Amino acid sequence: MAFRHLISLARRGRRPPIHALASRRLLSTAVAAATDAPLPSTTRQTPMIYDQLAESVKRKLKKLEEPDHRFLQHNSPHATVDSHTEILSAPLTRVTTLPNGLRIATESNLASKTATVGVFIDAGSRFESEESNGTAHFLEHMIFKGTERRNARQLEEEIENMGGHLNAYTSREQTTYHAQVMGSDVPRALDILSDILQNSKFDEQRIIRERDVILREMEEVEGQTQEVIFDHLHATAFQFTPLGRTILGPAENIKKIGKEDLQNYISTHYTAPRMVVAASGAVRHEDIVAEVKKLFTKLSTNPTTASNLVAKGPAIFTGSEVRMLDDDIPLAQFVVAFEGASWTDPDSIALMVMQSMLGSWDKNAGGGKHMGSELAQRVGINEIAESMMAFNTNYKDTGLFGVYAVAKPDCLDDLAYAIMYELTKLSYRVSEADVIRARNQLKSSLLLHMDGTGAVAEDIGRQLLTYGRRIPYAEIFARIDAVDASTIKRVANRFIFDRDVAITAVGPIQGLPDYNWFRRRTYWLRY
pLDDT at 293: 93
Within a domain: 527: no
- Asked whether residue 436 falls in the same domain as residue 367, the answer is yes
Give CA 398 to chain center in angstroms: 15
Whether residue 336 is found in the same domain as residue 246: no
Answer whether residue 71 is part of any domain.
Answer: no
CATH number at residue 134: 3.30.830.10
469 DSSP assignment: S
In sequence order, the β-bridge partners of residue 394 are: 399
User: For residue 315, what pLDDT is reported?
Assistant: 85
Q: What's the pLDDT score for residue 310?
A: 56
Half-sphere exposure of 248 (CA within 13 A, CB side): 20
| CA separation, residue 235 to residues 301, 317, 324 (Å) | 33, 10, 14
Residue whose C-alpha is closest to residue 412's, from 518, 520, 335, 511: 511
* Cβ contacts of 42 within 8 Å, gap of 6 or more: 25
Active-site residue list: 140, 210
Return d(Cα 518, Cα 488) in angstroms, integer.
21
Do 258 and 335 fall within a single domain? Answer: no
For residue 450, give its domain range. 320-522
DSSP state of 514: -
Measure CA 297 to chain center. Answer: 38
Residue 331 and residue 306 share a domain? no
Task: Break the chain down into helix, strand, coil percent, rounded to 5.
Answer: 50, 15, 35
Residues 112 and 233 in one domain: yes
Q: Are residues 502 and 360 in the same domain?
A: yes
Residue whose C-alpha is closest to residue 242's, from 396, 432, 353: 396
CA distance 313 to 254: 22
Q: Going residue by residue through the chain (527 aa), what tens digit of pLDDT does each one get?
A: 444 444 454 444 454 444 444 444 444 444 444 444 444 444 456 667 778 888 888 887 776 666 555 544 545 556 667 666 666 667 889 999 999 889 999 999 878 899 999 999 998 888 888 888 889 999 988 898 888 888 888 999 999 999 999 999 999 999 999 999 999 999 999 999 999 999 888 888 888 898 999 999 898 888 888 999 999 999 999 999 989 999 998 999 899 888 888 888 888 888 999 999 999 999 999 999 999 999 998 887 777 665 566 545 678 999 999 999 999 899 999 999 999 999 999 999 999 999 999 999 998 876 667 788 899 999 988 989 999 999 999 999 899 999 999 999 999 999 999 999 999 999 999 999 999 999 999 999 998 888 889 999 999 999 999 999 999 888 999 999 999 999 999 999 999 999 999 999 999 999 999 999 999 999 998 75
- In whole angstroms, give the CA distance from residue 324 to residue 306: 34
Instruction: Confirm if 469 and 495 have CB atoms less than 8 A apart.
Output: no
Residue 69 maps to a domain: no
Q: Is residue 37 situated within a structural domain?
A: no
CA distances from residue 394 to 39, 276, 352 in whole angstroms, order as listed? 63, 20, 10
CA end-to-end distance (rounded Å), the chain: 62
User: Distance between CA atoms of 326 and 347, rounded to whole angstroms?
Assistant: 38
286 plus 408 within the same structural domain: no
- In a domain, residue 79? The reply is no
Q: What is the pLDDT of residue 6?
A: 43
Q: How many domains does the chain have?
A: 2
CB atoms within 10 A of CB 53: 12
* Helix segments in 270-394, DSSP class H: 285-295, 306-312, 348-358, 374-382
Tell me which amino acid residue 230 is: F
Same domain, 301 and 407: no
The Cα–Cα gap between 374 and 381 comes to 10
pTM here? 0.81
Is 78 contained in some domain?
Answer: no
Instruction: Tell whether 284 and 211 lie within a shared domain.
Output: yes
Boundary-marking domain end, from 274, 289, 312: 312
One domain, residues 450 and 498? yes
Is 130 a domain residue?
yes
Final residue before a domain boundary, out of 257, 288, 312: 312
8 A C-beta contact, residue 124 and residue 175? yes
CB-CB contact of 272 with 102 (8 Å):
yes
| Domain end residue (candidates: 280, 312, 344) | 312
3-state secondary structure of 403: strand
441 and 293 co-located in one domain? no
Q: Give φ, ψ of 33 to 5 degrees.
A: -65, -40
Assess whether 303 and 238 both reside in one domain. yes
